[in-house]
Amino acid sequence: MREEEFDLYKEYLDTIKNTVWIDVELKPKDKNRFDKKYVEYTGLKIPANTTQKPYYLLEENANKWGIELRLYFSKTELIPTELLQLSVKNNMHGYEQYNRRINNNEFIWKLFANGYKLGQNKTF
């Protein structure tokens, strides 16, 4: 993703930041690596409860390929076409209030480095 694209997408998400939710699913073998990187990027502590939103620590034999970051949001008519194409229609149980989802770790890590966090994000 080019820097100009990231800036455009972040600018849009900043306008709807109150509707942005980010969560992670990972296996125990990935926990230390994720936790260290997350604290480094955000300066925030890891959620204490690892069995519920936004931080799901799964069983080691779970059918997951690794660390899976997901960003949920409710799009508006102002969404950039490219961001709409990066996202998919959200059909995840428990997240029905969001109509779009992005499954792109690289993009979400960049958001973490730019003020976003696990869970509900807020405009200040």
**Per-residue model confidence (pLDDT) at position 99:** 93
Neighbours of 60 (CB within 10 A): 10
Mean pLDDT within 43-56? 86
Q: Is the pLDDT of residue 104 over 90?
A: yes
* Per-domain residue ranges of the chain: 3-118
**Per-residue model confidence (pLDDT) at position 40:** 97
Reported as type and span, the H/E element at residue 39 is helix 28-42
**Per-residue pLDDT tens digits for 62-83:** 888 889 999 999 988 889 999 9
Q: Is the pLDDT of residue 123 over 80?
A: no
**Per-residue model confidence (pLDDT) at position 63:** 86
Tokens linked to 27: 């296996």
To the nearest 10°, report the CA torsion of 65, 45, 122, 110. -50
